[in-house]
Amino acid sequence: MSTETGRTGFWRDVLGRLRGWRTVDIVVAAVIGVAVGVVFWLWNIVWSVTTPLFVGFPPAQAAVYGMWLISGVLGGLVVRKPGAALLTSIAASLVSAVLGTQWGVMVIIDGTLQGLLPELVFLAFGYRRWGMGAAVLAAAAAGLSPAVRDNIVYNVTWPLHFQLVYGVIVVISSAVIAGVGARLLTTALARSGALAPFPSARG
């Protein structure tokens, strides 16, 4: 009975947070998405330019992949409302697609998946834990999407050990760049006073 009561309380709290969205939450999530979407577009260029450097061992290029996974984690950490990670990630992917990318509209599908996975991690914590551990775990979860999908869609001709190494490096890169990076950026923004309307203003 106590377990059922706990579950009911958990979902009641999550739904309460979902209904607590404000206009400023939507605007800031969108702004973060747009800003990161521009970074994504620039990172597309970085990826293309650095590709020849990894011709000897292509999976190693995944070390820089994590930047593409920061939007959902950052949006979740800043806004701290159900759906913020997903909304921010989709917005970033839309901007990247509009600006132009070698992957076309597929980036929108990728952005949706890469926002949904960290969203599930934040949900598992009841939207109550926002420390470094939660950020790294959310980012690592986001990395699972390209770790699997890229090997199926883009790296299908690679030997299995290349694919496995690529997947592991993507997840690690995501945890470090998107997880640690987003957590540190949130702290810096909080200290600057930019997050005054949000609970994340406390860091």
* Alpha carbon distance 111, 142 (integer Å): 10
Query: Average pLDDT in the 139-153 region?
Result: 95
The first and second tokens of residue 40, run together, are: 């994504």
Lowest mean pLDDT among 20-29, 84-93, 180-189: 20-29
- The yes-or-no verdict on residue 99 having pLDDT over 70 is yes
pLDDT value, residue 8: 80
pLDDT value, residue 59: 97
- The yes-or-no verdict on residue 2 having pLDDT over 80 is no
pLDDT value, residue 43: 92
Query: Average pLDDT in the 133-162 region?
Result: 96
The whole-model pTM stands at 0.89
- Select the highest-mean-pLDDT range: 20-24, 41-45, 87-91, 99-103: 87-91
Task: Give CA angle at 192 (187, 194), nearest 5°.
Answer: 90
Based on the number of CB atoms within 10 Å of its own CB, is 8 exposed (0-12), middle (13-18) or buried (19 or more)? Answer: exposed
Query: Average pLDDT in the 175-195 region?
Result: 94
Query: Average pLDDT in the 107-136 region?
Result: 94
Determine contact, residues 60/169, Cβ cutoff 8 Å.
Answer: yes
pLDDT value, residue 20: 75
Q: Residue 199: which of 30, 74, 81, 82 has the closest Cα?
A: 81
pLDDT value, residue 203: 64
3-state secondary structure 161-178: HHHHHHHHHHHHHHHHHH
Q: Residue 146: which of 175, 118, 170, 182 has the closest Cα?
A: 170
pLDDT tens string 4-61 = 666 787 888 888 777 878 999 999 999 999 999 999 999 989 999 999 999 999 999 9
